[in-house]
Amino acid sequence: MRELLAIDLGNTETVLGLFRGRDLVHHWRIATDVQRTPDELAHILGHLVSDRIAGRPLKGIIGSVVPAVEPILIRGFRRAFDSEPRLISDPAPLATDGGPLPIRLDVEEPHTVGADRMLNTLAAKLMYGVDIIAVDLGTATTFDCITGEGVFLGGVISPGPRAGIEGLAHQASKLPFIDLVPPVTVIGRRTEDCLRSGCFYAIVDGIDGMTRRIKEEWGRPDAVVLATGGLAGLIAPHCRAVDIVEPYLTLYGLEIADRLLGDREGG
């Protein structure tokens, strides 16, 4: 059975998913750090994965929005598994008319679309096949409009949940840094509780409000709202608009892309 390590290389975190066939059987998150060497990454990857594959051949695919880390990660993967991973960093050639993937980037500048948004489009089409607003809660919070036919129409990019908290703590010297957790009450009676409520519910209500605006402008009132990313499980249950929570949508997109591309792109 085909074993694949799918790697979603993001600005803050790198998410790893081990697939057996089409099943995601293990997943991990590590910090994205441009200072790491290939040897360090080879050690991390080998430590996490080697016991799970017991010497069996392992393929790899990387979806990246961090060009500076790509060559380091590729060399680390080679050293860990003696295999060349496939790299997806420019999605435009893969998702245009006549391209190898059954999706299309219907935007003015396809070459500026991040690989993660293209992979989410691919996964949304083949896993759900309905009009979807994919809300990806990462370093940035992105809202992607994806038709049931797999057309990416664009969307919205806003600061991610932690960016606002860190920015506030740095700009206001008397305000403490807080963890992003659901508050006990909306009205806080201590400064820390006020901050926790304000930061958390600003994110929640921002998702509800933005998806409402998108549905109105798109003319798709029945579009399914799908939350993904590392904070989806924490935030989405408090959102009225979210219909589906799938934290690993991008990893599934990588697995699907690798399967559909086969040997056409190498790797």
pLDDT, one tens digit per residue, over 122-166 is: 999 999 999 999 999 988 899 999 999 999 999 999 988 766 666
The chain-wide mean pLDDT, for the chain, equals: 91
Per-residue model confidence as pLDDT tens digits over 117-132: 999 999 999 999 999 9
Q: Six-digit token pair at 63?
A: 């979806």
pLDDT score of 265: 46
* Pairwise CA distance, residues 5 & 30, whole Å: 14
pLDDT score of 96: 77
- Alpha carbon separation from 6 to 54, 64, 214, 252, 265 (Å, rounded): 18, 11, 31, 8, 16
Q: Judging by DSSP bridges, how do beta strands 224-228 and 132-137 pair with one another?
A: parallel
Q: Six-digit token pair at 26?
A: 């293990």
Same domain, 81 and 96: no
* Pairwise CA distance, residues 69 & 34, whole Å: 6
Q: Six-digit token pair at 160?
A: 């991610």
Residue that is last in its domain, among 32, 62, 89? 89
- Domain around 7: 3-89
Q: Six-digit token pair at 183?
A: 């508050």
Catalytic machinery residues? 116
Same domain, 157 and 42: no
Same domain, 76 and 62: yes
- Alpha carbon separation from 5 to 32, 33, 80, 164 (Å, rounded): 17, 19, 12, 32
258 in any annotated domain: no
Residue that is last in its domain, among 32, 65, 89? 89
Per-residue model confidence as pLDDT tens digits over 2-20: 999 999 999 989 999 999 9
131 in any annotated domain: yes
Per-residue model confidence as pLDDT tens digits over 193-233: 888 898 899 999 999 999 999 999 999 999 999 999 989 99
146 in any annotated domain: yes
CB–CB of 117/95 below 8 Å?
A: no
Q: Label residue 173 exposed, middle or buried (CB < 10 Å: 0-12, 13-18, 19+).
A: exposed
Q: What is the CATH number of the domain that holds 173?
A: 3.30.420.40
Same domain, 124 and 197: yes
Tell me the sheet residues that pair with 26.
18
Q: What percent of the chain has pLDDT over 90?
A: 76
Same domain, 111 and 241: yes
Give the model's confidence band at 84: pLDDT under 50 very low, under 70 low, under 90 confident, else very high. Answer: very high
262 in any annotated domain: no
Same domain, 59 and 118: no
Element (H, E) at 142: strand 140-146
CB–CB of 144/121 below 8 Å?
A: yes
Element (H, E) at 3: strand 3-9
pTM tops 0.85: yes
Same domain, 65 and 133: no
Residue that is last in its domain, among 55, 89, 123? 89
Distance of CA 221 to the CA centre of its chain: 25
Tally the domains of the chain: 2
Look at residue 92 and give its three-state secondary structure.
helix
59 in any annotated domain: yes
